[in-house]
Amino acid sequence: MLAIGQPSHSWLSGQLARAWGNERFGAVEPLEDVCLAAEQHDIGMGAWDAEPELNPDTGLPYSFTEIPVTRHVEQWTDGPRRLCIQSRYAGLLTSLHGARLQRRRDLDRLEPAEAAAVRAYLDEQGRLQDRLKSSLGADPALLERNHQLLWIWDFLSLALCLDWAPTTAHDVPTAGDRVGLELRPRGQRAVALSPWPFRGDGLVVYCEGRSLDGRYENDEGLRAALAQAPWERPAFELTPE
C-alpha cells in the first residue's frame, strides 16, 4: 500500500492548476491565489497525516473517506483559518471547498452529535465566507468559476492517485460553456484527457508517499512502521487523447 498524505495529493492538484489553461479553457486568475488554494487546500489535514490514526477495521491508516466525521470537521475548520494567514482568497476557496464536501453528507444517517457538528461547521464557514467576500470585494462569477476549478483539480488528482480512469470530470469550466473531461488509461500511471485543458502537448505531475506492507494493531505500531517505511515518488503522465 502506498500511503499518500492529503497535503501531497493537494500538491499534485497545485501542479495541475499551474499548468491549466489554453485558448479553449481560458486563464486562471488571480493565478497565485488560486494555485495556492489548489496546492494547500488540505492544509488542515497535515497534522493528522503526520501522526495518522489506525482504522481498526482495516489495520491501516484511515483513508480520507474513512476519517470520523467530527475529526474531519475539525480539519476543515482549521484549514481555511491557516490558509487565510497566507491569502484570504485562497482561504475563501478552501472554505467553500470544505463546505461543499460536508454538504454531500446525508445528515439523517449520521449520529446526532455528528450531524450537529456538521451543521455548526456549515454555519461557521458561511459566516467566514461572508466576511472574506466582503473584505476582498470578490467578483461572484469569478469566485464561482475558481471554486469549480478547485473541485476539478481535486478530482483529477484523486483520479490519478487512485487509478480511477476511465472516468469523467463533469462541469469543467472553459472560456465558454462547461464541458465533460474524459480520462482514459494509457498504461501504468499514464492517462489521456479529452478535451485537453493544459498548456503544451503533455504534462507530468507527481506526489510522494510511503510504502506500507503490513497490517497494524494500534496507532503506535502504525506510526513506527510509517516512520521507517521507504519513500516513493510516483509520477503521472498526462497526454491529449
CB 175 within 8 A of CB 25: yes
Taking the chain, what is the end-to-end CA distance rounded to the nearest angstrom?
Answer: 30
pLDDT value at residue 227: 94
Distances from the Cα of 216 to the Cαs of 82, 91, 131, 212, 225, in angstroms? Answer: 32, 36, 44, 10, 9
pLDDT value at residue 14: 98
pLDDT value at residue 141: 98
What tens-digit pLDDT sequence spans the chain (241 residues)?
Answer: 999 999 999 999 999 999 999 999 999 999 999 999 999 999 999 999 999 999 999 999 999 999 999 999 999 999 999 999 999 999 999 999 999 999 999 999 999 999 999 999 999 999 999 999 999 999 999 999 999 999 999 999 999 999 999 999 999 999 999 999 999 999 999 999 999 999 999 999 999 999 999 999 999 999 999 999 999 999 999 999 9
CB 51 within 8 A of CB 71: no
Indicate the residue type of 23.
E
pLDDT value at residue 161: 97
| Among 147, 48, 146, 132, residue whose Cα is nearest residue 97 | 147
Residue the block writes with cell 499534485: 12
Cα–Cα dist 156/16, whole Å: 8
| Among 41, 57, 154, residue whose Cα is nearest residue 92 | 41
pLDDT value at residue 58: 94
Answering whether pTM is above 0.85, one says yes
Residue the block writes with cell 476519517: 67
